[in-house]
């Protein structure tokens, strides 16, 4: 929860300090550290978590995101079915409906064509949320569990609609971050084992705030 992280950061550290989250996950504490004027270092063993944290802590001009968003939607509409390459992995049809697979492949192609890496990664965050919400998994389960046959019969997710909703929310969140964060405050996200030093110098961290898995 951002509010909890913010309160802890402001209580136990000072502006200009270095805050470290050794299980940074998607980067909530890192975002709040930068917004509070603290430099930060995040560590996680999960490559996907590191990707999310880097994307969330990288400030991107919201006006550029909005322009790219409209171009992305236009590109999505113009991609033909014979242009896409559908993913193929074990049990894909168990976890996704055929229509959803095609729409996700089309959306991913449009995103990966974006040249600016920071903008591309921003949209990939929304894409990852869309994949989860449009899959056949139960959304209210912590474990990976498939929806019941009864619920699947009526399950017809609007892939583009879900992506639009998530991306519009994320652009709004980035606007708040972009215009309030001090660009001189640093944030480093590392893929690593938190039981190791990961190249972090001794006594270089002023405060450790984390939520262990």
Q: Based on the fold, state whether residues 147 and 52 are members of the same structural domain.
A: no
Confidence of residue 107 (pLDDT cuts 50, 70, 90): very high
The yes-or-no verdict on residue 1 having pLDDT over 70 is no
Q: Based on the fold, state whether residues 213 and 160 are members of the same structural domain.
A: no
The yes-or-no verdict on residue 211 having pLDDT over 90 is no
Q: Based on the fold, state whether residues 120 and 210 are members of the same structural domain.
A: no
The structural domain count of the chain equals: 2
Q: Which pLDDT tens digit goes with each residue over 38-83?
A: 999 999 999 999 999 999 999 999 999 999 999 999 999 999 989 9
Residue closest to 119 by CA, chosen among 87, 78, 72: 72
The predicted pLDDT at position 3 comes to: 85
Q: Based on the fold, state whether residues 154 and 98 are members of the same structural domain.
A: yes
Q: Based on the fold, state whether residues 140 and 51 are members of the same structural domain.
A: no
Segments forming the whole domain that contains residue 104: 63-180
Query: Are the C-beta atoms of 155 and 97 separated by less than 8 Å?
Result: yes
DSSP structural state of residue 1:
-
Q: Which pLDDT tens digit goes with each residue over 168-194?
A: 999 999 999 999 999 999 999 999 999
The predicted pLDDT at position 14 comes to: 95
Q: Based on the fold, state whether residues 137 and 94 are members of the same structural domain.
A: yes
| Distant-in-sequence, close-in-space partners of 123: CB < 8 Å, separation ≥ 6 | 68, 69, 72, 111, 114, 167
Mean pLDDT of 189-202: 93
The yes-or-no verdict on residue 208 having pLDDT over 80 is yes
Radius of gyration of the chain (CA): 19
Q: Based on the fold, state whether residues 175 and 70 are members of the same structural domain.
A: yes
Q: Based on the fold, state whether residues 90 and 14 are members of the same structural domain.
A: no
Largest Cα span, the chain: 57
The predicted pLDDT at position 2 comes to: 73
Q: Based on the fold, state whether residues 99 and 204 are members of the same structural domain.
A: no
Sign of CA dihedral 147, 151, 152, 157: negative
CATH number assigned to the domain comprising residue 36: 3.40.50.150
In what order do the strands lie in the sheet containing 18-21? 187-191, 39-44, 18-21, 207-208
Q: Based on the fold, state whether residues 46 and 13 are members of the same structural domain.
A: yes
How high is the mean pLDDT of the chain?
94
Q: 0.85 exceeded by the pTM?
A: yes
Q: Based on the fold, state whether residues 127 and 210 are members of the same structural domain.
A: no
Q: Based on the fold, state whether residues 14 and 118 are members of the same structural domain.
A: no
């Amino acid at each position: 929860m951002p509010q909890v992280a913010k309160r802890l950061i402001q209580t136990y550290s000072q502006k200009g300090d270095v805050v470290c989250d050794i299980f940074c996950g998607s980067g909530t504490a890192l975002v709040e550290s930068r917004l509070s004027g603290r430099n930060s270092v995040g560590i996680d063993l999960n490559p996907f978590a590191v990707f999310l944290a880097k994307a969330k802590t990288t400030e991107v001009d919201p006006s550029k995101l909005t322009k790219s968003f409209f171009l992305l939607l236009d590109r999505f509409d113009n991609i033909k079915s014979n242009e896409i390459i559908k993913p193929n992995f074990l049990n894909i049809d168990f976890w996704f409906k055929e229509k959803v697979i095609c729409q996700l492949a089309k959306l991913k192609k449009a995103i990966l064509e974006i040249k600016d890496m920071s903008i591309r990664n921003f949209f990939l965050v929304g894409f990852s949320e869309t994949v989860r919400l449009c899959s056949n998994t139960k959304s209210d389960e912590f474990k990976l569990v498939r929806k019941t046959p009864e619920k699947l019969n009526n399950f017809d997710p609007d892939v583009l609609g879900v992506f639009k909703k998530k991306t519009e929310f994320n652009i709004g969140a980035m606007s708040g971050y972009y215009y309030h964060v001090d660009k001189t405050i640093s944030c480093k996200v590392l893929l690593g084992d938190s039981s190791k030093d990961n190249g972090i110098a001794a006594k270089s961290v002023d405060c450790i705030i984390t939520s262990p898995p």
